[in-house]
């Protein structure tokens, strides 16, 4: 029996219960094949059909145009921090990066190993509680692309808009908000996301890239880091993470059944709004993020009395509300409300927070 908890983990994170049930039912014998998906050759007919269906469903969900390749990779978002400069510099030596927090900084740190990076703007001075307005970005005309992070998982800062930068290819780390709302894929050169938040289990990384940006990889790039090789082989250049790919496919089907990304966006907005309202209505809890940039996915908050934090976590866990501890860089609490977090989980958290405040406030 799955324990009846609500898991607010930032990732790996909660998966839809129905998906886990289906995976369980199909674990030993997938569709009468007599095999588990884990046991299948990635080049066999069965797995090829699973892989193709997953890609088709993702294309439907995100309305991905035909001139974009969808790549199913490994190595997490961290590998993308290097693969992006190696593949997208296209003969240039410079790139633009926006700094909105800890994950932006990680991308910048790694990107600097390959290119001259220009940080177009930073919200470090505000302790990363806001997004610098587009009009203040100092763009470099020689940049090969601009990189930003659409949702900063640690401090809960999220874009609800897409920068308009003309022909400069936009590259976005959507690890923690992909599939949470509809986005216009054609506005981007490349979108990437580790799977372990809104897609499926860890081990799979998805890249959606405009075809014309491929094929000019930096000299010395390892084959495993060359997008072109995955694009030419249906992401089967080497053995892909087959089981994670299959589970991602089940999540895509589940999302389609929920009504797609429009429906998810409505639910996600409602879940986040009620938790922010509960935080803002009290002097006991606090969230420092500019209301225009507050994340629907990751909601950090602190207690007026930090000495009560451990007690909060312990008492929450006792009523089945788990993994609420904030990131070690910022402390406090963080509730991650990915697609698979049911609304009842958010309601239960809010009810617990009110009780806790009444007892200790
Ligand atoms: N970018 C963002 C926005 C993230 O939230 C994370 C993981 N928390 C990463 C990158 C790093 O992902 P990975 O561990 O898959 O490399």
Mean pLDDT of the chain: 97
Instruction: Give the Cα separation of 173 and 181 in Å (integer).
Output: 15
Residues 6+ apart with CB under 8 A from 160: 292, 293
CA–centroid distance, 13 to ligand 1, in Å, is 12
Is the predicted pLDDT of residue 261 greater than 60, yes or no? yes
255: nearest Cα among 267, 272, 269: 267
Residue 103 a catalytic site member? yes
Give the pLDDT mean for 183-192.
98
Tell which CATH architecture fits domain 18-257.
3-Layer(aba) Sandwich (3.40)
Amino acid 4: pLDDT: 81
Percent of the chain with pLDDT over 90: 98
Q: Is there a binding annotation on residue 196? A: yes
Amino acid 164: pLDDT: 97
Residues 6+ apart with CB under 8 A from 124: 99
Q: Is there a binding annotation on residue 233? A: no
Residue count of the chain: 361
Residue 173 a catalytic site member? yes
Residue 300's alpha-carbon distances to 35, 109, 335, 359, in angstroms, are: 43, 25, 6, 22
Fold of 7-17+260-360: 3.90.1150
70, 208 in Cβ contact below 8 A? yes
Q: In a mutational test of the pocket of ligand 1, which residue from 77, 150, 158, 336 has the highest number of ligand atoms less than 8 Å from its CB?
A: 77
310, 299 in Cβ contact below 8 A? no
Give the pLDDT mean for 246-269.
98
Domains 7-17+260-360 and 18-257 share a fold: no
Instruction: Give the Cα separation of 199 and 201 in Å (integer).
Output: 7
Q: Is there a binding annotation on residue 155? A: no
CA–centroid distance, 28 to ligand 1, in Å, is 31
Cα 230 to chain centroid, rounded:
21
User: Is the complex ipTM higher than 0.90?
Assistant: yes
158, 134 in Cβ contact below 8 A? no
Amino acid 1: pLDDT: 47
Give the pLDDT mean for 334-359.
98
- Confidence class for position 2, pLDDT limits 50, 70, 90: low
Domain chopping of the chain, boundaries: 7-17+260-360, 18-257
pLDDT by residue (tens digit) across 282-336? Answer: 999 999 999 999 999 999 999 999 999 999 999 999 999 999 999 999 999 999 9
DSSP code per residue over 163-194? ---TTSPEEEE-TTTTTSS---GGG-SEEEEE
Residue 197 a catalytic site member? yes
Is the predicted pLDDT of residue 151 greater than 90, yes or no? yes
């Amino acid at each position: 029996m799955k324990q009846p908890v609500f898991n607010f983990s930032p990732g790996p994170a909660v998966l839809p219960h129905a998906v886990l049930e289906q995976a369980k039912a199909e674990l030993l014998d997938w569709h009468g094949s007599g095999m588990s998906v884990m046991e299948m050759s990635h080049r066999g007919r069965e797995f090829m059909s699973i892989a193709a269906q997953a890609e088709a469903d993702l294309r439907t969900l995100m309305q991905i145009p035909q001139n974009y390749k969808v790549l199913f990779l490994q190595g997490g978002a961290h590998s993308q921090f290097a693969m992006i400069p190696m593949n997208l510099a296209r003969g240039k030596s410079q790139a633009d990066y926006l700094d909105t927090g800890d994950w932006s900084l990680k991308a910048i740190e790694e990107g600097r190993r390959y290119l001259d990076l220009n940080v177009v703007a930073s919200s470090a001075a505000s302790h990363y509680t806001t997004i610098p307005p587009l009009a203040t970005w100092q763009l470099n005309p020689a940049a090969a692309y601009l990189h930003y992070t659409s949702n900063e998982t640690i401090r809960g800062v999220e874009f609800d808009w897409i920068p308009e930068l003309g022909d400069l290819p936009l590259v976005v780390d959507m690890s923690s908000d992909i599939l949470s709302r509809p986005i216009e894929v054609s506005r981007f050169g490349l979108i990437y996301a580790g799977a372990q938040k809104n897609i499926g289990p860890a081990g799979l990384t998805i890249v959606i890239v405009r075809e014309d940006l491929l094929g000019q990889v930096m000299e010395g790039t390892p084959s495993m880091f060359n997008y072109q090789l995955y694009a030419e082989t249906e992401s089967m250049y080497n053995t892909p993470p087959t089981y994670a790919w299959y589970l991602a496919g089940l999540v895509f089907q589940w999302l389609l059944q929920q009504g797609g990304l429009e429906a998810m966006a409505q639910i996600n907005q409602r879940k986040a709004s009620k938790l922010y309202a509960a935080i803002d209505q009290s002097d006991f809890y606090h969230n420092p993020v500019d209301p225009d940039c507050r994340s629907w996915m990751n909601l950090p908050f602190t207690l007026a009395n930090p000495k009560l934090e451990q007690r909060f976590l312990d008492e929450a866990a006792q009523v089945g509300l788990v993994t609420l501890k904030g990131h070690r860089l910022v402390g406090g609490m963080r509730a991650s409300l990915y697609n698979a977090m049911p609304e009842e989980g958010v309601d239960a958290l809010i009810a617990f927070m009110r009780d806790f405040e009444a007892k200790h406030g």
